[in-house]
Amino acid sequence: MHPIKKILVPTDFSDCADHAVEYAVELARQLGAQITLLHVAEVPVYTYSAAACLSSDFSKTIEAMARRKLDDVVAVLRQRAPDAGGVLESGPPGDAIRAAIKELRPDLIVMGTHGRRGLMHAMLGSVAEKTLRLADVPVLVVQARAAP
């Protein structure tokens, strides 16, 4: 087993992703590893009569909002993990995460899961499940916190 020095944490800014970030911070502290948050800005595309309709202004607005949110989260994270960074990608989350793995070459991926089951899982899929199946590095999937 090689040492874990780079941890990639995909986030959608949800509570379960925040829980995974907390887990990654503790792991990074114990291992002396660097954390990189990855957010994928997924711009919805609507199709009518086989023509995709999407305003480039709308796409730019979503990406700008995602960039601001990611920068804010990384700024707070750096209070506890000074060398933390953030990467913003766009597109389908599973594809963007796999591309980031190839580019950033992390030693470990830590990500949250909403824990959906049944019909909701079938309809929405699971980015965590796809990442777990297709990543060529270890993936630690952190369950959402139990409701109080």
Average pLDDT, rounded, for the chain: 84
| Average of per-residue pLDDT across 128-143 | 86
Instruction: Provide the pLDDT for residue 143.
Output: 83
| Average of per-residue pLDDT across 121-143 | 76
Instruction: Provide the pLDDT for residue 58.
Output: 75
Model confidence at 28, in pLDDT bands (50, 70, 90)? Answer: very high
Say whether pLDDT at 51 is over 70: no
Model confidence at 132, in pLDDT bands (50, 70, 90)? Answer: confident
Q: Are 90 and 41 in contact (CB under 8 A)?
A: yes
Strands of the sheet with 6-10, listed across from one edge: 85-90, 34-41, 6-10, 108-113, 139-143
Model confidence at 56, in pLDDT bands (50, 70, 90)? Answer: low
Structure tokens at 23: 């887990």
Instruction: Provide the pLDDT for residue 9.
Output: 97
Q: How many Cα atoms occupy the beta-carbon half-sphere of 74 within 13 Å?
A: 21
Model confidence at 61, in pLDDT bands (50, 70, 90)? Answer: confident
Instruction: Provide the pLDDT for residue 123.
Output: 40
| Average of per-residue pLDDT across 50-74 | 81
| Average of per-residue pLDDT across 91-109 | 93
* Domains assigned to the chain: 6-143 (3.40.50.620)
Q: What is the pTM of this model?
A: 0.84
